[in-house]
Structure 1
Amino acid sequence: MVLLPKHSKILMLSSLVLSLLYSPLVAGSYVSAAAGIAQPEISHHVKNILTIDGLNFKDLNGNGILDPYEDWRLPVDSRVNDLVSKMTLPEKTGLMLSMSHYMGNSKSCPAPAAGGTPNGILCENDQWQTINNFAVPGSEMYNLDPPVLSASAATKGITERNLRYFIIRDNPSAKDLTIWTNKIQEVAEGTRLGIPATMISNPRNHAGNLAFGFSEASGKFSLWPGELGMAATNDADLMKQFGQIAAKEWEATGIRKGYQYMADVATDPLWMRYNGTFGESPDLSSKMIYAVIKGFQGEQLGPHSVALTTKHFPGGGTRLNGHDPHYSWGKPNPYPTEGSLMKYHVPSFQAAIAAGTSAIMPYYAKFDNSLNAPQLPNGQSFEEVGFAYNKYLITDILRNQLGFKGYVNSDTGIITAMPWGVENLTRVQRYAKAVNAGVDIIAGDHNPADLYQAVADGLITEERINQSVKRLLTETFTLGLFENPYRDPDAAQRIATDPVSQQIADEAHRKSVVLLRNDNNMLPLTDIKLANQKLYVEVVTKSGAATQTDNLKAAIKKYDPAIVLTDNLDEATKALVYAIPSGVGDTPDKPLKIALDADTGIDVARIQAIEDKVPTILTINMTNPWLIGDIAEKAAAVVSVFGIKAEPLLDVLRGRFNPSGKLPFTIPANQAAVDNNKSDVPGYDEDASYVYRDKNNNAYGFGFGLTYNVANATLTGNNSVSGGKPFNLNYGLNKISESVSQGVYAQDLTLNYDPTQVEFVNAQSLKTGLSVISQNVTAPGKVRLLLASLGASNAVKTDGDLLSLQFKAKSNVQSDFAVVSLTNIILSDGTGVETRLANVSQSIKMNYIIGDLNGDGKVTIGDLAIVAAAYGKTSSSPDWAQFKLADVNNDGEVDIVDLAYVAQFIN
């Protein structure tokens, strides 16, 4: 019996079935019984298919014979060696560059400004884009290579310059993105050797500030908290699950590589890339970076992986006055504390290596020995060049000492825009120094002529070039791109907008919220607390505040109409202020700051006026550890978020979810603390005076976070199940004695599940004297449960599990994950006083046994009969619901593919 994920490729039984499936686009997969080797799916637009011994291969070089690199049966290293032996030097050097890629129409580029430096972006007229302006810090700042690559330029890059790595910079729908990546692959397939392209992206799944409703992410991908928010959950399993979901979305569109995530430990609170990290702790960063790599890549890199490039070695979180090395005034990575490099900054990269990260990216920065305390044995000093040029750092430390086996990917623009420490070298010499230092691919350049010239001049040996090319091709072969680079645009769109994925993402949003202060139990805003109340809502930020305020109010009205809103502060009884600070521009003549004022977009006087008027819930979006004292002290409750949707935030504020997030960094006490901090040391290891303390003397240090002192529900049990198999979840209660003093005598709760994924079987009491009075199905996937504790001796007064909820996973699951939740949970004590609890949910990884349609745990002719009985039915058939189970490949019809799919696994 074979246990595989739902989206495993179809395997065919015979050449007869194969001939029925064959098309100019895709030759389906099957198993060669003689060889015992699985035929991978072969997709092609240009080159022909070779059929040898009943197996299919792509004739990538069009010579009509099967070359070793075209033979998927061979080990990857054999295929790589054969292909490299066939490549010309221009093909090799072209492979060693990556360039930005834009889906839109051709755009012209301005001529370089006076003193401007070209950054490697090819426009239609082959001019260079200058880098004298940068994006506003806070989003994807420092966008050094704006999206100006047109379709014809992409074709030119592939066919004339042998480029194969493209960084996607814009954000189209999943369907449009897939159509475009398919076009790129078609051009690549048509070249001499048919080497496929690798499409790359920076993170695409994270909320920047506040997302008002799921529609904000509709048509793109599932929307999750920012990286700091994921760190605030302190949940590595959830982080891995995020990676699995996001990888499925990316892979479906043809994006197979991510320039992510930042393993940088953020020790300088002024750094405007702080929000792309997992905070200040090496331990937490290591845990999260390990989990996300395993999520995106899987346990082993393979055809369904998205390969990750972990950045920015050896860590960009230590800065000189916060300034970033994208700018000349921010070049150095200072290490003023002895041993800080290895103690704080390198461990998260060790975790990335242990997780199997496919590549590592050095930062732009360089060492400045005048700013460093001893970091190396025997008082050694560093060569003062950019990290991508530093052979000791890359070869001696990263490869030899840490054992990294993947490839080294430079950051964008090291040759022309940020050649720190090697400004006196020519472009040709810079290429030579970077490659000889250990870099395998240069990001942000489009013309391999200088790299080629470095080899021609004898500055780089072709043997060294071959080493890099082999590392790169090993990834490409392992990802399965040589066999199957094309993706289905409609399937990509379905996967990108899968509501189950967003349900799990919403759970991450809730878990990311950090409750910092809650005077007089201001929160949660229960129905009782909101009776006869009016809530004033205002967003305070640098630009667009009025529009964002209107959007937030609209989201509240739609999602939670029980809340009565008012636009008149004079008649309000409570207020919700959402503060969204933003960083200041990184310039050489103005200090960076994390103080909240006009420069960072916060009207402190306005917030204080609201807090003076009515009890105020202050929510602060934390992209940095802002100095929050001026706006926080007068608030009745303070909440920290890190990029969040409005609806999950409301769930926490309303008590439908108890806050569980913890600060992933230390909030500084004041400006003096910032001025005196050690830029290479986490806040938790600073002097005790560094941390901010509120009026209740709570220290807002790393790991701080409150919760509500109220009863809460728990839902625990299986987090992975095979299709057709039974499983249980346990419902329980916590903090009962603190919240329901008389004991619980009656309970009302609604069980929610996806009936296409899960079948509810029964609810059974786990406690003597607790009875399930009714199990009423109110709608598909909704069961209302009424419980009663019979007699005073049976009242629920202590914590523990109360019910066993019994389910069976459906055989023909529709998603890789299912979510089971309990909502509308109401407890009542012996006097009839009701207490409403927060919702609770559990996400479950769904596996299934291929071909087991009747759910008996094995594949027999009974399963084949199910398909045979439904043969010829399509999604337009009036009785489709009855036969849909037989559509095992989910293409909307029951045909020979489905028969073969089941038949191959019959014992």
Structure 2
Amino acid sequence: MTPYKNPALPVEDRVTDLLGRMTLEEKAGLMCHGRMFPGSGAELVTERHLTHFAMMHVPSPAEMAEWNNTVQDLAAGTRLGIPVTFSSDPRHGFTGNPATAHTGGGFSPGPEPIGLAATDDPELVERFAAMAGRELRAAGIRLALHPMADLATEPRWARISGTFGEDAGRAARMVAAYIRGMQGAGVACMVKHFPGGGPQAAGEDPHFSYGRHQAYPGANLDYHLRPFAAAFAAGVSQLMPCYAIPTGSGLAEVGANFNRDVITGLARERFGFDGVVCTDFNALTGFEIPGVVSLPPRNWGVEHLPVLDQLAMMLDAGVDQLGGETCPELLTELVASGRVPESRLDVSVRRLLREKFRLGLFENPYADPDAATRLVGGPEHRSLGREAQRRSLVWLTGSPRAARTLYVENLDPDVAARYGRVVERPEDADLAVIRLSAPYEPREGLLESHFHAGSLEFPAAELDRLRAVAAKAPAAFCVHLDRPAVLTGLVPVADRMLADFGAADEVVLDALLGRTPVDGVLPFDLPSSMRAVRESREDVPFDTRDPLFTTGHPGASARKSSTSGPASSRNSSK
């Protein structure tokens, strides 16, 4: 038996042996983390030496397990037989954005991460993450491209649903619990987006060129590092930098994927992180699905440089792997030109191999499709998901009570019929139950349309319509807060109001009608106006003047864990 295949040897000995056997081309392939759809891309393994793939659409856990096994057979037939690591963005929530998260596929849904934060219960978060990890592992996915340790200090940002809120203390507890649960289930975590993706200038997202800049008017970088410090302390395996330029932070003003101050200065030296650093996806060459979408690279701050210069900057910054890329020839060209020694690649390849050995992939990379079918979405897992959904609900105003006739909007009428007689007109109902999404400004473009950005206020016409319904029947509103909403014009006419962060219709109805308790707490402030949002500072928590509801509502311990960060000079109520 060759030493690297011997499970009795220490991991470092196996890594050293295998590294010494690899060609330059095999090392370069290992340093690319491509994308894959079931049924496609196998030639990347056999011809380009890639062994890391982020899965896009997954039809079912059994089909994913079967595809994993097919690809692992292909990998086993290569010269060194290095197994493949499959990764995925979140699959256990309600938000479907092809660039950030996926829904469906039979996985047991809970609330979005922002809803896990609303439970304020690290033990529940750890149990939920462990359940999600077991389901991912059963399907053959061994690396979670999550959690997000970013903070929701800029209310307009489109990625808030993936965060653990505005409060650095609470987010730190939740991130650590999530990592313990997921990695305890045998799925490595890649925490993101270092050094904190939340303080986006005007709330615009760095997937797009107009969102390339962050803003630090409050000089509050250290506050945004606190959840990452908790992730490192919890032993997180991997780290993803953000696309954005940390403008005004005191760090070099190039995108974090190219930024030595960020990766080496902060992650490696200040926090002592020695795990894998993988760039955010397609920062170098862009992404294309022929006939569907073509996206430019998110190489903010270095767009003017040739691609090999950009790659050299990434390696000098401390990057180990190129997220979303399938271009190992760029790495081999950089080495062949003499600009980067092969020994620099060895540093990263060692980290990447170490992870595969620690995950046990060399011993057994296969998944059992029948077991995946039984485990994923099973009754116990779905029950835990429902518990997390229920625990994440936040009571904003009013009180629950029963109703016999219901008028409903944006709910399944068949589900509502289990709770009372459903009528077509609000004036014929004891209660009008209306589910709403937090407002946003629709953007053009295939990808941009999935990012909820811009104003947090309801359009005037929609607000008038909702008020008219509330004038005809007591109105119970449930607002899905994928980011904060301005509810100032709606609260006065509501009989009762609930906030959800991803919950099934029956979970919402149980709460509104008093059948189950509601004990979640807000994970961020709800501003009273867009003017207050525009006047707030992107990097400072709790900075909107006179918020309608504050973090921690309705509990008596609002902001109990927010003990650091500059106080707002603009908020007269705090």
SS of equivalent residue, structure 2 residue 527? coil
User: Is 2:302 the partner of 1:453?
Assistant: no
Residue 76 in 1 paired to residue 11 in 2?
yes
Determine helix, strand or coil for the equivalent of 2:108.
coil
Alignment of 1:182-261 (within 5 A): 182-208=69-95, 220-261=106-147
Equivalence map 1:1-16=2 (5 Å): none
Partner of 1:361: 240
Unaligned runs of 5+ in 2: 97-101, 286-296, 557-574
Say whether the 8 Å CA contact 2:61–2:372 is kept in structure 1.
yes
Query: CA offset at residue 505 of structure 1?
Result: 1.3
Deviations 1:410-440 (A, max 9, x none): 0011112011111122111211110111000
What letter is aligned with 1:384?
A: E
Shift of the alpha carbon at 1:407?
1.1
Pairing partner for 1:305 from 157, 162, 186: 186
- Residue 611 (structure 1) shift: 0.6
How much does 1:564 deviate?
2.0
Question: Cα deviations across residues 680-727 of structure 1 (Å, max 9, x unaligned)?
Answer: 0112xx26x3412xxxxxxx10000269xxxxxxxxxxxxxxxxxxxx
CA–CA separation in structure 2 for the residues paired with 1:328 and 1:335: 19
| Cα distance in structure 1, aligned partners of 2:258 and 2:541 | 27
- What is the CA deviation profile of residues 453-495 of structure 1, one whole-angstrom value per residue up to 9, with x for unaligned ones? 1111122221110010000010000101011011110101100
1:555 counterpart = 2:418:
no
Deviates more, 1:285-294 or 1:425-434: 425-434
Instruction: Indicate whether 1:317 and 2:166 are aligned.
Output: no
2:277 is matched with 408
Change (3 A) 1:586 1:318: farther
Q: Is 2:430 aligned against 1:573? A: yes
Amino acid at match of 2:194: F
Q: Does 1:271 align with 2:157?
A: yes
Length, aligned pairs only: 535
Q: Which residue of 2 aligns with 1:13?
A: none
Match for 2:358: what amino acid? T
Alignment-derived partner of residue 123 in structure 1: none
The 8 Å contact of residues 586 and 592 in structure 1, kept in 2 or not, is answered as no
CA pair 581-414 structure 1, distance change in 2 beyond 3 A: same
CA distance in structure 1 between the aligned counterparts of 2:453 and 2:354, rounded to whole angstroms: 45
Deviation (angstroms), 1:585: 4.3
CA distance in 2, matches of 1:217, 1:201: 12
Secondary structure of residue in 2 paired with 1:630: coil
Partner residue of 1:594 out of 453, 456, 476: 456
1: CA distance, partners of 2:464 / 2:38: 45
The alpha-carbon distance between structure 1 residues 76 and 160, as it changes in their structure 2 partners (threshold 3 A), is: same
* Paired position in structure 2 for 1:92: 27
> Could you tell me how far 1:583 is from its partner in structure 2?
3.1
- What does the per-residue CA deviation read over 1:328-382, in whole Å, with 9 as the maximum and x for residues that have no partner? 11111111112x001x2000000000111110100001133xxx2xx5xxxxx43
Match of 1:524 in 2: 401
Q: Which amino acid aligns with 2:95?
A: G
User: For the Cα contact (< 8 Å) 1:659–1:706, is it kept in 2?
Assistant: no
The separation in 2 between residues aligned to 1:270 and 1:160, in whole angstroms, is 44
Does 2:336 match 1:479?
no
Counterpart-to-counterpart distance in 1, 2:546 and 2:113 = 24
Q: Does 1:326 align with 2:326?
A: no
Contact 2:37–2:58 (CA<8 Å) still a contact in 1? no
Equivalent position of 2:178 in the other structure: 292
Q: CA contact under 8 A between 1:272 and 1:583: conserved in structure 2? A: no
Letter in 1 for 2:13: S
Give distance in 1, aligned partners of 2:33 and 2:540: 34
| 1:93 positional shift | 0.5
- Tell which structure's C-alpha radius of gyration is larger: 1
2:228 aligned to 338, 349, 366, which one? 349
Cα distance in structure 2, aligned partners of 1:456 and 1:383:
29
More helix by share: 2
Cα distance in 2 for partners of 1:556, 1:208 equals: 22
User: Cα deviations across residues 172-215 of structure 1 (Å, max 9, x unaligned)?
Assistant: 11111111111111111110000000001000011239xxxxxx
Query: Cα RMSD between the aligned structures?
Result: 2.0
Note if contact 1:218-1:497 (Cα within 8 Å) is conserved in structure 2: no
Q: Which residue of 1 aligns with 2:251?
A: 382
* TM-score when normalising by structure 1: 0.57
Cα distance in 1 between the residues matched to 2:53 and 2:278: 13
Provide Cα deviations, 1:597-627, integer angstroms capped at 9, x if missing partner: 28xxx82222111111111111111011011
| 4+ residue segments displaced more than 4 Å | 216-219, 585-591
Match of 1:144 in 2: none
SS in 2 for 1:267: coil
Q: Offset of 1:396 from its aligned partner?
A: 1.5
1:429–1:459 Cα contact (<8 Å) kept? no
2:550 corresponds to 1:701: yes
Distance in 1 between the 2:491 and 2:28 partners? 55
Partner of 1:620: 479
Partner amino acid, structure 2, of 1:244: A
* Partner secondary structure for residue 295 of structure 1: helix
1 CA distance for matches of 2:333 and 2:509?
60
Structure 2 matches for 1:391-470, cutoff 5 A? 391-416=260-285, 417-470=297-350
After superposition, the Cα gap between the structure-2 partners of 1:591 and 1:578, relative to the gap in structure 1 and judged at 3 Å, is: closer
Which has the higher relative contact order, 1 or 2, with Cα contacts under 8 A spaced 6 or more apart?
2
1:635-689, Cα deviation, whole Å (9 max, x unpaired): 1111100111112222222323211000000001101101101110112xx26x3
- Deviations along 1:41-84, one digit per CA (max 9) or x if unpaired, are xxxxxxxxxxxxxxxxxxxxxxxxx1110100000010000000
In 1: Cα distance, 2:330 partner to 2:134 partner: 37
User: What is aligned with 1:583?
Assistant: 440
Q: 2: CA distance between counterparts of 1:597 and 1:490?
A: 49
CA contact (8 A) 1:584 1:593 kept: yes
Partner of 1:163: 50
- Aligned equivalent of 2:561: none
Gaps of 5+ in 1: 1-65, 105-150, 210-215, 299-303, 376-380, 540-548, 693-699, 708-907
Task: Give TM-score, length-normalised by structure 2.
Answer: 0.90
Secondary structure of the residue aligned to 1:421 is coil
